[in-house]
Amino acid sequence: MPPDTPDWFHEIDHTGDIGIQVTAPTLPQLFERAALGMFRLLTDLDSVHTSESTQIAVDGRDLEALMVRWLSELNYRHTVDNVLYGTFEVDSIHETEDERVLSATVRGEAIDPDRHTVYTEIKAITFHGLDVHETDGGWAVQVIFDM
């Protein structure tokens, strides 16, 4: 792993796929860092200018479903809109009667082949091995990506 890898991020090998383990002191930060971790797998984040801002809202029945919907939405926009994101700010995570709702602001830019290298393609964010849980010092998640 590169020397600039933050201590809250760990890449894990998984049969034919790849995964990440992320920790954070708060639940919103966990979702932000999971998104950062996913985009670390996709590109060199230092090359991404965060000049364009987009609002995103997703929902899920529980934290695991919310994590999959969040990362899937970001991956969908990356793939379909041909963009890379470099910063993520979760504005809120709140519960309604039957689901959790996440609202966030993400910043990035259109992919510029002269400046950006996209290392890989993520086909899907899976529920396999997914684990979102509270720890003594905050929160942790493990996510496996279908490559």
Tell me if 68 is assigned to some domain.
Answer: yes
Residue 4 has pLDDT above 80, yes or no: no
Tell me if 4 is assigned to some domain.
Answer: no
Domain of 41, CATH number, reads: 3.55.10.10
Number of domains in the chain: 1
pTM of the model: 0.94
2 falls in which pLDDT band (50, 70, 90)?
A: very low
Q: Which domain holds residue 26?
A: 9-146
pLDDT tens per residue across span 85-103:
999 999 999 999 999 999 9
| Rounded mean pLDDT, 100-115 | 97
Give pLDDT, residue 1.
42
Whose CA is closest to 33, among 81, 90, 83, 97?
A: 90
147 falls in which pLDDT band (50, 70, 90)?
A: confident
Whose CA is closest to 115, among 51, 52, 47?
A: 47
Tell me if 114 is assigned to some domain.
Answer: yes
Give pLDDT, residue 17.
83
Q: What's 118's DSSP letter?
A: -
Tell me if 1 is assigned to some domain.
Answer: no
Tell me if 23 is assigned to some domain.
Answer: yes
16 falls in which pLDDT band (50, 70, 90)?
A: low
pLDDT tens per residue across span 45-70:
999 999 999 999 999 999 999 999 99
Q: What is the mean pLDDT of the chain?
A: 93
Decide if 63 contacts 95 (C-beta within 8 A). no
